[in-house]
Amino acid sequence: MKNFKFSIKGKKYDVNILSLDGNVAKLKVNDEDFTVEIERSKKPGKTPIVVRSGVKDPQKEIEKKSGGPKTEIKSPLPGIVVRFYVKQGETVIKNQKLFSLEAMKMENEIKAERDGVISGIKVAEGQTVLQDEVIMEMD
């Protein structure tokens, strides 16, 4: 494999590494065969350790009282509104698809968190929106 020449306290050594298997090496030193075990100290890895934050509890369902303020349905992340599944004045039920949002090359379907009536749509299909921007309102 590899050849080395050493000089230790004036004595010369001609070392040939014949094979290396894990921590065991077979050497030929001045025409004499040796099998040696190599001790290696472990180096700390350069890969950072990533710690995930805890999972947040899901928001509790909002109870709608009649005559109260409208519920704003906001964009969960920045993206492009691809398609609306509902129209203004339409009655929706919980978990019904409201609109699709393309973010980071993935299409996300945003669903209703409760039953209600769509009272207003604030953006158009194909429009770019920011995170927490109001997309529609629901009574």
Give the chain's domains with CATH numbers. Answer: 2-37 (no CATH), 71-138 (2.40.50.100)
Q: Is the pTM of this model over 0.85?
A: no
Q: How many whole angstroms from its chain centre is CA 61?
A: 28
CA atoms of 76 and 60, how far apart (whole Å)? 17
In this prediction, residue 1 carries a pLDDT of: 66
In this prediction, residue 81 carries a pLDDT of: 93
Alpha helix (H) residue ranges in the chain? none
CA atoms of 62 and 106, how far apart (whole Å)? 28
14 three-class SS: strand
- Please give the chain's pLDDT, 139 residues, in tens: 688 888 888 888 888 888 888 788 888 888 888 898 888 776 666 666 667 777 676 666 656 555 557 889 999 999 999 999 999 999 999 999 999 999 888 999 999 998 999 999 999 999 999 999 999 999 8
In this prediction, residue 66 carries a pLDDT of: 57
61: its two tokens: 């369902």
Using CA atoms of 28, 34, 40, 46 in order, give the dihedral in degrees to the nearest 10: 40
